[in-house]
Structure 1
Amino acid sequence: MKHLLNLLAAIALLVWGTHLVRTEILRVFGANLRNVLSHSVSNRAAAAISGLGVTALIQSSTATALIVSAFVGQGLVTLPMALAVMLGADVGTSLMAVVFSFDLSWLSPLFIFTGVVMFLSRQATTAGHIGRIFVGLGLMLLALHLISDSTRIMISSPAVKALLASVTSELMLEITVGAFISVIAYSSLATVLLIATLAASGLVSLESALGIVLGANLGSGLLAVITTARSSVEVRQVPLGNFVFKAMGVVVTAPLIGLWLKYVRPYVADAATMVVLFHLSFNLVVMATFIGLTDVVAKWVGRWLPKPEKTLASGRPHHLDPSALATPSLAISCAAREALHQADVVETMLMGMLTVIKTNDLRLAQELRKQDDIVDELYSAIKYYLTKISREALAEEEGRRWTDIISFTINMEQVGDIIERILIDVEDKKISKGRSFSDAGMAEICELHQRLVDNLRLGMSVFLNGSVRDAQKLLEEKARFRDLERAYASTHLTRLSGNTLQSVETSSLHIDLISDLKRINSHICSIAYPILDTAGALAPNRLRQASLPENQAGTLS
């Protein structure tokens, strides 16, 4: 019983080490890896090579599947290219299995010691995270050594020998067991390394080990399908297509296990090497055979999982992918895209507001007021999604981005509320009473409205790109808008003194309206503050004059 417990503990340590390495690599290099994948899809060969390289580094084809799936959901990568990336990713994880199959146990103490020192001395830095990667690698190597020792002791037991002698090979059962272990362990790499070690110790026959390896490959594809089950259709298409490739590969390869043993075994004496080479050969064959069929499989998947029609008025978040939460840097990107979707709805409300003011369209006013509920729902969804991202897992820059997204969505939600109140006032004080603004008053409102639209679009650009120059320009617009609001309030009072009937009837609404437009502009311009603060372009109470050209600084005086 003690030896069985030691074996289970060693297996758990292997799974934990694999998880630690994958998580920390994504934390440190996640943004760079996403850039590599998104810019390496010019053709299928390049896509497969990029998938191979990224997965060899993060040691998880499932993690690569989640990243690429998010790209497809965002429209950055086509489905056929994403499937090519995944074919290369499977080869990448099998290459890592070959590397870890060598006896590298002597590196375990070095990795663990170095990693712990780096982590304890620089916990919140990149060096600290790299230290955790070393610790994870050391734990994986240590676990493989412990598994080997535990199985060697267990295999010497007469009871275990009798049990193994009574077990017959059943391919379908072995494939099922391999798939189950891979899903439970959340890693086909850990499963293959475990089976290779057990085969080398004699606890599992070589023929059974190869069947379990086929199941592990099938399980890794199934794991990605399960993980993305609650995601959008575009995100779910990539894991499903990759699972189709794996399933076809298993169907083609399973009958050839006997031939593999017959012709390869004489040249490879070590059972562990046989297992990992079979795993590598399987994925190489699948990639070589099916890389030309990515367009065909993409069409199949498109028919099985058709994309729903999306409308701007849809209250359901479009980009908050739950599967991306396992990769914080990717989740931040999803939240940012959803924040822009929220801003698009706000822009629709803002554009429609002027139409209501000009045409007295009550039906449009009611529709626009309903869209404020969508803005509120999106704000709540984004906020809840961000709270599920571990702040400790974010790098410093990603932590600032987390804060920027929260600030941006709050401002958009408040802009939506102000527009709704404006529409209510217009209904009550203008449309229901049959009043209208004077030509001069309407011209002023149109001028302020156009500036608002331009500033909102500039604010969205600042949020998306983080341009300091655009952020400075946006903050300058705040001062210009304030001056315009004051000037138009003064001219309105001048018109009142002339006893203009339209100006008198709509005076209260006009003053409230231009004041509300100024408040909207203030919320929009607030988008610039985090960007300028990070760049050091803000003084405690005003835009630092030295950061601007002389002629622009004068504008803010």
Structure 2
Amino acid sequence: MTIFKQIGILLFTLIFGSSVVYASGANETISWAKLIISLLGGLTLFLFGMEMMSDGMKKTAGNKMRTILAALTRNRVIALMCGAFVTMVIQSSSATTVMLVSFVQAGLMSFTQSLGVILGADIGTTITAQMIAFKLTDYALLMVASGFLIRMFGKDQNVKNIGDAILGFGILFFGMKLMSDAMKPLRTHAEFISMLKGLENPILGILLAAAFTALIQSSSAFTGIIIVLAQQNLITLEAGIPMVLGANVGTCVTAGLASIGTTREAKRVALAHVTFKLMGVLLFIFWIPTFAGLIRNLAVQFDSGTARQIANAHTIFNVGLGLFFLPFTGLFARLILKILPEKEAVSDLKPVTWHLDDAVLTTPAMALDLARTEVARMAKLLRRMLRAVIVPFFTNEPQEDEYFPPLSLVDGINMREDKLDFLEEKISQYLIKISQENPTSNQAKEIFAMMSIVSDIENIGDLISRNLLPLIIKKKSLEMDFSEEGHEEIMIYHQKACKQLSRLEESFAERDLELANRIMLKERKYLNLEQQYKARHLERLFAEKSNTIETHEIHMELMDIMKQIIVYSCNIANTFHDLSKTDTSQ
């Protein structure tokens, strides 16, 4: 539980408890200290249980849900349904959002497709409120005991994770019971009831709920508190609906603030989420009495109390939002892309991580996905370094960096080498953190394999910066250029090395075993080609061609370094190929 959640819980309880004391006047029949302590303890258990349940579900089904999302989001309606289903299973809309960002970054999903999943995730997260509305508090300790026994005696890690989810579910309901029991005396307090009646003012209710949801960072938790109040008949449906709307705004504003300083894709997803919610609330705010009437009419059919009606309002609001905005996802995507265009800022010169997120460390399958995407970024940086470094060997004209024109070509190479060093350190640290979250045996293998891959990529970067860059200076000091044949051989072999790195980048991004296999198959062919080119070069040397004699040392070093890069690429592909044959969800 983060420090912000802890502060939010404390502030909410103190303010809520203080308002209770103030509203009650000098009534002596209630122990206010006991009431506040019970509320604080109950709310803490409620949030802890929700977090534990969500972590258990993510560890059990997170990777399988990732596969579903990646495969079934081509159609916007199916994307909506997938988003709802995945979030319902893993009980975390933020986890679904993190998966979306990684897919968009890796090119597995377009930004437009992700919008349908976002709308579906908002529907899926309302299932928590529906479960809370069932009065299962009498069975809370039974669930706690069952979950603990499953966790204690389960032999398989997935079984233990299911035990965690059940244990968390039980703790959640036990926390609800503590809060519910603490609030019982308030049912007879006219002053307190009158104060809560004031929350029927839509603006006040929305602002209050948005603020407290942002503090405790969970719309499901705050909606649960609203339902507890309703179960004690302390708030009406008209007061509950604005608070539900505010909770929806609060959770996406928190996500929006969290996206500051992250990748462009994460910012777009967060902005889309905030836009959907704010527009939805603006549409509903003027129709709250009508909406409340609709909910009551449905309640008559199913004999539902106020708590269930509030849970239904939460679900219907998000379902309505999804159905209303789904046809316009393409329009929204174009709008968001205009606000946050593809071009990255010049600040990208600084070494930063784009994909690593500590928030998903408790779900190793998802955290490994993010690490893999960051490794693909390392491969892209490496490919750009190698593609650029060959140019100065064939021209003495000053060259600019292709992607950052203010930089010279050599400065651009050095900048990317600094980024590789930085990413090697950060990814390794991130992988160590994942290893401390009880990963499965296959996930542990992936962690060690990825550390090896990251180290090899950084070693290739060192070859380019420490070995090839000094050769450029050496080449410029010569009076002659490479022979025509030597020039052609170097260019062809350089293209082969670049192609291997390009295949590596793509295989990481798409987890493509075929590409990894092709890299390994091509190695022998390229090593044989290097031997052929070396033999031809020696023939020219023995023929005493002046260009060949003058450039012999540089020619041989250049070809040898590119051969080493090809060998490194094959080693990385071999590690990745062996790794991908294991199912890291197990």
How does the TM-score come out when normalised to structure 2? 0.79
3-state SS of paired residue (1:436): coil
After superposition, where does 1:40-119 map in structure 2 within 5 Å? 40-119=72-151
One-letter amino acid of the counterpart of residue 338, structure 1: E
> Judging changes above 3 Å, is the alpha-carbon distance between structure 1 residues 51 and 4 closer, same or farther for their aligned structure 2 residues?
same
- The more displaced of 277-286 and 250-259 is 250-259
User: Would you say the 8 A contact 2:351–2:418 is kept in 1?
Assistant: no
Aligned to 1:21: 53
Q: 2:247 aligns with which of 210, 213, 216?
A: 216
2:198 equivalent to 1:169: yes
Shift in CA distance, 2/89, structure 1 to aligned 2, threshold 3 Å: same
- Secondary structure at the aligned position of 1:390 is classed as helix
Paired residue for 2:561, among 488, 512, 516?
Answer: 516
Residue aligning to 2:343: 308
State the Cα deviation string for residues 502-541 of structure 1 (Å, max 9, x = none). Answer: 444334334433333333233222203424655899xxxx
Task: Give 2:393's aligned residue.
Answer: 357
Task: State the 1:367 CA deviation.
Answer: 0.8
Provide the C-alpha distance between the structure 2 equivalents of 1:303 and 1:155, rounded to a whole number of angstroms: 51
Aligned partner of 1:549 in structure 2 is none
Q: In the TM superposition, what is the alpha-carbon distance from 1:188 to its structure 2 partner? A: 1.4
Distance 1:86 1:468, change over 3 A: closer
What pairs with 1:418-497 in structure 2 (closer than 5 Å)? 418-438=463-483, 441-442=486-487, 445-446=490-491, 448-460=493-505, 463-464=508-509, 474-475=519-520
Kindly report which structure 2 residues correspond to 1:114-193, keeping only aligned pairs within 5 A, or say none. Answer: 114-122=146-154, 125-152=157-184, 154-155=185-186, 161-166=190-195, 168-170=197-199, 171=201, 172-193=203-224
In structure 1, which of residues 365, 368, 387 is the aligned counterpart of residue 429 of structure 2? Answer: 387
CA contact (8 A) 2:132 2:227 kept: no
**Structure 1 residue aligned with 2:310:** 275
Q: Does 1:241 align with 2:301?
A: no
CA contact (8 A) 1:72 1:79 kept: yes
- Aligned pair in 2 of structure 1 residues 519, 104: CA closer, same or farther (>3 Å)? same
Counterparts of 1:482 and 1:301, CA distance in 2: 48
Aligned mate of 1:339, from 375, 390, 394 = 375
Are the counterparts in 2 of residues 116 and 132 from structure 1 also a CA contact under 8 Å? yes
Per-residue CA shift, 1:236-279, capped at 9, x if unaligned? 22332332332233233334333455561783562212221222
- Tell me: CA distance 1:413–1:261, structure 2 relative to 1, closer, same or farther (3 Å): closer
Using the TM superposition, give the Cα deviation of residue 88 of structure 1 relative to its aligned residue in structure 2, in angstroms. 2.5
Unaligned runs of 5+ in 1: 538-557
Larger displacement relative to structure 2 (485-494 or 264-273): 485-494
* Distance in 2 (alpha carbons) for counterparts of 1:485 and 1:76: 36
Partner of 1:257 in structure 2?
Answer: 288
Deviates more, 1:431-440 or 1:95-104: 431-440
The question of whether the paired residues in 1 share the 8 Å contact of 2:388 and 2:413 is answered with no
For 1:473 and 1:287, locate their aligned partners in 2 and report how far apart those are by CA, in whole Å.
Answer: 43
Alpha carbons 2:389, 2:413 under 8 Å: kept = no
- The answer on whether the counterparts of 2:59 and 2:158 sit within 8 Å (CA) in structure 1 is no
What SS does the aligned partner of 1:50 have?
helix
Equivalenced residues, count: 534
Asked if 1:375 is matched to 2:420, the reply is no
Instruction: Determine the structure 2 residue equivalent to 1:407.
Output: 452
In structure 2, give the amino acid aligned to 1:228: S
Residues 96-137 of structure 1, C-alpha deviations (whole Å, 9 max, x = no match): 322331122354334333332333345882222222112111
Displacement of 1:210:
2.7
Match of residue 35 from structure 1:
67
> What is residue 4 of structure 2 aligned with on the other side?
none
Q: Which amino acid in 2 is paired with 1:455?
A: Q
* Corresponding position of 2:16: none
* Structure 2 gap ranges (5+): 1-32, 402-407
Query: Identity over the aligned pairs, expressed in percent?
Result: 25
Tell me how far 1:214 sits from its aligned partner: 1.9
The root-mean-square deviation of aligned C-alpha atoms, in Å, is 3.6
1:543 alignment partner in structure 2: none
Q: Quickly say closer, same or farther: Cα 1:7–1:361, change in 2 above 3 A.
A: same
C-alpha distance in structure 1 between counterparts of 2:516 and 2:336, whole Å? 43
Q: Is the 8 A contact 1:335 1:386 kept in 2?
A: no
- Determine if contact 1:70/1:321 at 8 Å carries over to the other structure: no
TM-score (norm 1): 0.82
- Paired with 2:278 and 2:500, the residues of 1 have a C-alpha distance of 52
Amino acid at match of 1:433: L
Q: 2:174 and 2:83 mapped to 1: Cα distance?
A: 28
Instruction: Report the more deviating stretch, 320-329 or 384-393.
Output: 320-329
1:67 and 1:324 in contact (8 A); partners too: no
Q: Which moved more, 1:164-173 or 1:437-446?
A: 437-446
